[in-house]
Structure 1
Amino acid sequence: MPIYMDRHDVSNTVTAENVAQLHHQDLKIQHKFECRGLTYWFDEKRKIAFCLVEAPNEEAIVEMHRQAHGEVPNQIIEVDIAVVESFLGRIEDPESEHREALKIIDEPAFRIIMITGFDDCAFNTGKNKPPNLAQYLKSMGNVFGNFDGRIVKQQQYNFLISFKSVSKAIRCAIEIQKHFSERCKANDCSQLSLKTGICPGIPFSGKESFFKDSVQMAKRLYCISDSKMVVSHEVKMLYSDENPDVPLDRELFLLLDPSDEKFINSLMTYMEENWQNPNLQLSDIESFLGSSKSQVYRKLKSLTGTSPNNFIKNYRLQNAFELIKNQIGNISEVAFQVGFNSPSYFAKCFHKRYGILPSDLLQVIE
């Protein structure tokens, strides 16, 4: 039977005990609707509850809630139970020392999402890999655990991590960066850059998939990360609230404000939709963003350290690298697919960016 998560936006007067009572009422009649309430999360600060329910369909969940107490969900999505556990850490009610009839769960589903690691293209031929890279990546996994971070997904050279605590997420990021810097000094891998993007999120706010908005934002922050770890405005504020006397080091972190995030989201949305267009011009981006040429240049330079034209080119080359790695088309086809009119110019730019010709990279992969 499918597993669903529903969302309830409750009033400011609702408490964790109130939510526990509603959940208890659901459990008493759930069998009438072939439902099975697995657990729930309640965010006292944001006044949001999420319920995890096994049910035949969404309608059964709505009717169960309606007849139990009348508090029907605002939204429902179908979820993968393994993904839920990877982000939130559990799929059942937490263990309790007391076997009281009413189990009160005062735990939010709010999480801090971090993506950290290296782009695959940093190790194009294998020659650029620092010694003991596999051991280093394994040690990164251990560091996450030291700060109660859960590995949601590991790709070849980067990780998607979920944290309950913003302070632990930040301290973990600092520790990972410290380990990386020490290894770079010891192994002469100064050409590498550890990339990190950190943002907050809840399971869903609409009909999108589980933590989709948060993961997308973390990816975008990771994408622009270079010498500094990139932190969203909300993460910065949450950390400051918890650590008023320990400000984030601006030598280590790029701290965004709301206008920065709006700019990044708008820019990346446009690029994701138009990067394959060979006729894409900077003026098109300026028009979409509603900003002047000088404004776009200053903003992009301050956030990414590169000019708009280089950003567009590098974005295309990054996608080209992925296409070649996955052996999707020959070199000329890839060049045209990523928006280059000339395969020879594409090869020149690719070599300048990654230190290897695309044809040689294809041979290495094969």
Structure 2
Amino acid sequence: MPLYMDFHKIDSDAITEEDMYRAHLRDVAVQNKHGLIYKRYYLNLHHKTAFCLMESPNKEACVESHKEAHGVGACNVIEVSHQNEFIPYMGEGSQNEQDLALTLSGEIDSGFRTIMLVDFLELMEIKALMATKISDSIKNYQGNVVKVPSERFMASFVDASDAVACSIEIAKYFETLKGKMIFSIALSTGKPVDEHSTDLFEETKTKVEVMSRLGFQLGISMDLDTKISAFRSKDISKIDTTGITVFDQSSYIEIEKLDKVLLKNLNNSAFNSDTLGSQLGLSKTQAYRKISSLFGMPPNKLLSELRLIHAVRALKKRDKTVSEVAYDSGFNSPTYFTRVFRNRFDVLPTLISKSKFN
């Protein structure tokens, strides 16, 4: 049968593990009637959340089962792929005799995970070596590699402090490489199922995508939930986190809005820093201050950097000319594009388009 996972927000302030076990027993008591099997449940008393994992013929059976057992359905229910989603993100944990989910270390599994997205641009043909190093670092810090395309790695960690330490190790490795190497590592911590999600860790994956796209000048960035979780789970004081940019919720909302505007206009050569400010609802001065405070660079520099990153990826596909890539990346002159590209990467764009990247 298909695999489903649901989300429950616990209203009571005095809920205990024993209370949740009794609630689980009510679910189990009616499971045969609805043709489903409750496998285990994940509990986070700090965040007052619970997530049930079950095999069911359909979503409707999950909803009706909970309604019969508790008088109300779950906040949300999603179908998950066992091999492509559940195992990569949630791992191979088990459960105790009460079906409460446990991590591999035997602790209660909250269901929350820290998702790390590593994005990089390498202008040298050493991708295979880099992939091995990144994968080894993730595994050494008890992370699960999630399959993603191209020059990116996504990983899931039970412990946020492991994710932070892993990101620092990978960043240090990138910094040892010779040549023009730029990277972005984003970390976000969240629930497997959200109120309105349709995919596992949908909200958390969206966050790392946004932070990663805009984070090439930051190196490592993470949301405030990851910082809080990392310091709560272990003594992280021995890890130097001074170079990591932390976005609180209000800052993330600002960069998410910026990301949407840039994705829509990046290839438009008429789009400039003045236009960017107006579409953000900010004056030129406000946009300058806001973007500089978030990314350490003015709007025009950020826009140029993102266009160059877009151009590098397009050139490596080798299906367009340098002139076509220049225009598609928002530059109104191939000559100007070539000059800016060479100043940034110390190599001509024609050499990138002719290289054999695997």
CA drift at 1:241:
4.3
In the alignment, what sits opposite 2:99? 103
CA contact (8 A) 1:225 1:304 kept: no
**Distance (whole Å) between structure 2 residues aligned to residue 162 and residue 245 of structure 1:** 19
Name the aligned partner's letter for residue 335 of structure 1: A
In the alignment, what sits opposite 1:138? 132
The one-character-per-residue Cα deviations of 1:3-33 (angstroms, maximum 9, x if unpaired) are 3222111213333333333333333432333
CA contact (8 A) 2:3 2:79 kept: yes
Instruction: Report the more deviating stretch, 259-268 or 221-230.
Output: 221-230
In the alignment, what sits opposite 1:203? 192
In the alignment, what sits opposite 1:299? 290
Name the aligned partner's letter for residue 6 of structure 1: D
Correspondent of 2:345 among 321, 335, 354: 354
> What are the equivalent positions in structure 2 for 1:178-257 lying under 5 Å apart?
178-180=172-174, 184=176, 189=178, 191-205=180-194, 206-223=196-213, 224-226=215-217, 228-242=219-233, 246=237, 249=240, 251-257=242-248
Matched, 1:67 2:61: no
**Distance (whole Å) between structure 1 residues aligned to residue 319 and residue 34 of structure 2:** 48
In the alignment, what sits opposite 1:27? 28
Correspondent of 2:333 among 332, 337, 342: 342
Distance 1:326 1:70, change over 3 A: farther
SS at match of 1:172: helix
Distance 1:180 1:316, change over 3 A: closer
Distance 1:27 1:245, change over 3 A: closer
**Distance (whole Å) between structure 2 residues aligned to residue 51 and residue 5 of structure 1:** 6
- The aligned length equals 347
> What are the equivalent positions in structure 2 for 1:115-194 lying under 5 Å apart?
115-116=117-118, 118-119=120-121, 122-123=122-123, 126=125, 129=126, 134-135=128-129, 137-153=131-147, 155=149, 157-180=151-174, 184=176, 189=178, 191-194=180-183
> Where does structure 1 lack aligned partners over 5 or more consecutive residues?
none
**Distance (whole Å) between structure 1 residues aligned to residue 250 and residue 165 of structure 2:** 26
TM-score under structure 1 length normalisation: 0.81
Name the aligned partner's letter for residue 274 of structure 1: N
> Where does structure 2 lack aligned partners over 5 or more consecutive residues?
102-107
CA drift at 1:311:
1.4
TM-score under structure 2 length normalisation: 0.83
Instruction: Report the more deviating stretch, 30-39 or 56-65.
Output: 30-39
**Distance (whole Å) between structure 2 residues aligned to residue 245 and residue 195 of structure 1:** 22
CA contact (8 A) 1:240 1:247 kept: no
SS at match of 2:147: strand
CA contact (8 A) 2:159 2:230 kept: no
Name the aligned partner's letter for residue 267 of structure 2: Q
Matched, 1:320 2:314: no
SS at match of 1:197: strand
**Cα RMSD (Å) of the superposition?**
3.0
**Distance (whole Å) between structure 2 residues aligned to residue 33 and residue 268 of structure 1:** 44
**Distance (whole Å) between structure 2 residues aligned to residue 65 and residue 24 of structure 1:** 11
